[in-house]
Amino acid sequence: MAKLFAEDQAIRENVPHAKMQDMAFVEKMWADDAARRTRTRALLESGQLSTADDYYAAAFVFQHGEQPQDYLLAHSLALAAVARGKAKASWIAAATLDRYLQNIGQKQVYGTQWRWPNDALPSREPYDRQLIPDSLRTALGVPTLAKQDKNLAEMQAEQAATK
């Protein structure tokens, strides 16, 4: 599982936003993601995932899925990692719930997901900023609303400067 996780993360490290507009790059990434999900699902179904690190890694693999069911499974895997003692898995638990909610047409609640609608400036919308207090965000390793707003302003300024 560690190898699958390393592969999943490596393709996403230091990738500029412009590279994500290259459809050949994106299609290869999606195909590789699908293969990793297939391998991870086989490990999960055969009972070969059992440690907090296994579940944590598997959560990231399924977070990069294509369907709401992938994100919901990722959320459950993250919860299993937390239950087995991996505290830092709480962030991926929040992120997977946000991604699931967005993909079923609901507002995210933690603010972990970014969108670039029609190549416009980045946004976290739709986002229910009121449901989750900053104290809970902090407990789960998610930035506070003020930090999220600062990060958003920086990303938007950076992207606007490159246009």
Q: Please give the tally of structural domains in the chain.
A: 1
Burial 115-147 (b: 16+ CB within 10 A, else e): eeeeeeebebeebeeeebeeeebeebbbbebee
Name the token pair of 24: 């050949």
**Mean pLDDT, to the nearest integer, of 48-66?**
97
Q: Between 75 and 122, whose confidence is greater?
A: 75
ω into residue 122 within 30 of 0, thus cis? no
Q: What's the pLDDT at 18?
A: 63
Name the token pair of 80: 């299993």
**Mean pLDDT, to the nearest integer, of 140-158?**
92
Q: Which domain holds residue 116?
A: 2-162
Confidence label for 145 from pLDDT (cuts 50, 70 and 90): very high
Report the alpha-carbon distance of residue 57 to residue 146 in Å, rounded: 29
